[in-house]
Amino acid sequence: MIFLFDFRLFSQEFIRPVVTNYGVWKLRECIIIRLVDSDGNVAFGEVSPLPWFGSETMEDALSFCVQLQGKISQDGIFQIPDFLPACQFAFESALASLQKNQQLINYENLDFCGLLPSGKDAINQCLILENQGYTTFKWKIGVEDTDTEIEIFKLLISQLPSSAKLRLDANGGLNFDSTKLWLSICDQFSEQVEFLEQPLSADKFGEMLELSNVYQTKIALDESIATLQQLKQCYQQGWHGIFVIKPAIVGSPSRLKQFCQQHPIDLVFSSVFETEIGRKAALNLALELSNYHRALGFGVQHYFRETELNWLENLWNKN
């Protein structure tokens, strides 16, 4: 089957920049794709690359879309190469929505993890999100010096209710000694710290595997398993801890489903700051594969201004 294909560029500024170990991120850019089948049915997908995590760049994704020259076959969708994982996700998600009715997601019934800003701003934002009903929070570390962040961490812990959970995400920004320090401190608050995410860079897999067997606090892999190929490799090398999956950049949803169904793993699904197009597709995948005992890492809506109701229709009409 051949589908007509079209695409548009879209971008959103963050209300506040996202500050991580990688630097300051001010603008989220993506490509919205549209497939039309022979009966005139329309479906959309979203290409939201995150190149510093290991996906293709926007330029790579744009080049792929341009060279399609307005059409793509079903076989062509499943043959998108692995070095374009965000494109794989977008096209397969759009195809799936054409082929079957997507699950209607009741967001009120989902448990989301709220993303906090780095540094001391996390304290006020945590109170705001707590008042909105969040019970799980994610805080970026490895941005300021370790002693300062540990002080902020203790303030955060002290203001959280005992039932709340806190995830610490270093984005690979710690060294071996600072990781041990964080793990030892987190062990003192094991009832509230859910896990320490990607403390070391992806090339330090052996060290993270070693530390995961020493401390009570769980370690979660993120950058190390950005794509499905990396996820499989880490699993085969003995990682049976927590896997943080970003559906929008992991690659082929169908192959991810197959792997997870054959190898039950402890999954946490996480956002890459998608629009509602990518968010819906990612959450459908998460609900199909998730073991439901961990909050979904999609509590990021407070980083964007509310988009206009007809933004998608207007995006096509003005181009």
The reported pTM is: 0.93
Q: What is the mean pLDDT of residues 166-195?
A: 96
pLDDT-above-90 percentage for the chain: 82
Residues 294 and 262 in one domain: yes
Q: What is the mean pLDDT of residues 245-264?
A: 94
| Average pLDDT over all residues of the chain | 93
How far apart CA 102 and CA 125 sit, in angstroms, is 33
By annotation, the residues acting in catalysis are 140, 246
Strand order in the sheet with 2-20: 42-47, 23-36, 2-20, 71-73
The neighbour count for residue 102, using CB atoms within 10 Å, is 15
Residue 149: per-residue pLDDT: 96
Residues 179 and 272 in one domain: yes
Residue 14 has pLDDT above 60, yes or no: yes
Residue 105 has pLDDT above 90, yes or no: no
Query: pLDDT tens, 43-54?
Result: 999 999 999 998
Residues 164 and 259 in one domain: yes
Residue 290 has pLDDT above 90, yes or no: no
Residues 152 and 56 in one domain: no
Residues 249 and 309 in one domain: no
**In 79-187, alpha helices (H):** 85-99, 121-131, 146-159, 176-187
Number of domains making up the chain: 2
Query: pLDDT tens, 64-86?
Result: 999 999 999 999 999 999 999 99
Residue 319: per-residue pLDDT: 57
The neighbour count for residue 148, using CB atoms within 10 Å, is 12
Residue 309: per-residue pLDDT: 73
Residues 6 and 92 in one domain: yes
Residue 288: per-residue pLDDT: 85
49, burial (CB in 10 Å: exposed 0-12, middle 13-18, buried 19+)? buried
Residue 193: per-residue pLDDT: 97
163, burial (CB in 10 Å: exposed 0-12, middle 13-18, buried 19+)? exposed
Residues 311 and 281 in one domain: no
Q: How does DSSP assign 284-318, residue by residue?
A: HHHHHH--SSS-EEEE-GGGSPPPPTTHHHHHHHT
Residue 55 has pLDDT above 90, yes or no: yes
How far apart CA 274 and CA 158 sit, in angstroms, is 32
Residue 291: per-residue pLDDT: 62
Task: Give the CATH number for residue 141.
Answer: 3.20.20.120
Residues 128 and 259 in one domain: yes
Which range of residues forms the domain containing residue 167? 107-303
Cα separation values, 238 from 30, 233, 302, Å: 35, 9, 37
Q: What is the mean pLDDT of residues 55-62?
A: 97
Residue 237: per-residue pLDDT: 96
